[in-house]
Amino acid sequence: MEEKGQWKDVACRLPLTFVCHEDQLILIKQNLSWMEALIHCRQNHVDLVSVDSEEIQCWVTEVVQHASTAEVWLRLRHSCTLDTMVQMEEKGQWKDVACRLPLTFVCHEDQLILIKQNLSWMEALIHCRQNHVDLVSVDSEEIQCWVTEVVQHASTAEVWLRLRHSCTLNTWYWVNGEMVCYEKWAEGNETAVENCETVMRSGAVQSGGDHRWISLPETERRNFICSRYD
């Protein structure tokens, strides 16, 4: 993207600055007590939001501008009594209030979710698209780091990615149509000659070792990672 916002096409190996996307915050416009809000976030997302840096403070301040109450709940609790909690006002200041006060609140949600269910690659793709957004694409070092954290809890040695081999073009691509620029292949897996006469092959990431990508027949059954973002 150029300075004024226009997009242009460049070689993917060109060294440039870049913009990262972190975990998302979700404003819930439902007035609940602090404990009800905590339970709601943990049942439907990850947790109530914790503000542990200036960056998160700025982020939450932006989100709460759209709240339907003058304050929203944070995941901050008083250690001596159980009758006070901390809320954030519209301009970002914190204040101490009774925990039974009904307020809107902000949930935190992980962008990647490991599904410990052994499915074929196509079944995994369908599951993610029906229940989340899609199988995960690893198109940057940042996403690879996220995936590395998640796959350590997998119950299979490899975990499906949204990576597919094209017999026609004899190349690997992400199913959303993007070609593979960032790569983390195990030795020999990217350039191996694929036998397209038997079964299509798809990409998976190793759950152990240095978490490199490997080629597998799409009919094998593995855990998989769904993304919760477009």
Question: Going residue by residue through the chain (230 aa), what tens digit of pLDDT does each one get?
Answer: 776 667 777 776 677 776 654 457 788 888 888 888 888 887 887 778 888 777 778 778 887 788 777 778 888 776 444 445 555 665 667 777 777 777 766 666 667 889 999 999 999 999 999 888 899 999 888 788 889 888 989 999 999 999 998 887 788 889 876 778 888 999 888 776 556 667 889 999 999 999 999 999 999 999 999 988 76
| Top CATH class, 112-227 | alpha beta
Residue given tokens 């905590």 in the structure block = 38
Q: What is the pLDDT of residues 11-28, one digit of tens each?
A: 766 777 766 544 577 888
Q: Could you tell me which CATH class the domain 24-109 is placed in?
A: alpha beta
Ramachandran angles phi, psi of 59, nearest 5°: -65, -50
Per DSSP, helices labelled H in 82-225 are 121-131, 141-151
pLDDT for the residue numbered 123: 95
Say what the pTM is: 0.56
- Tell me, yes or no, if the two domains 24-109 and 112-227 fold the same way: yes
Residue 182 · residue 175 · CB < 8 Å: no
Cα three-residue angle 74-79-80, rounded to 5 degrees? 130
Domain spans, the chain? 24-109, 112-227
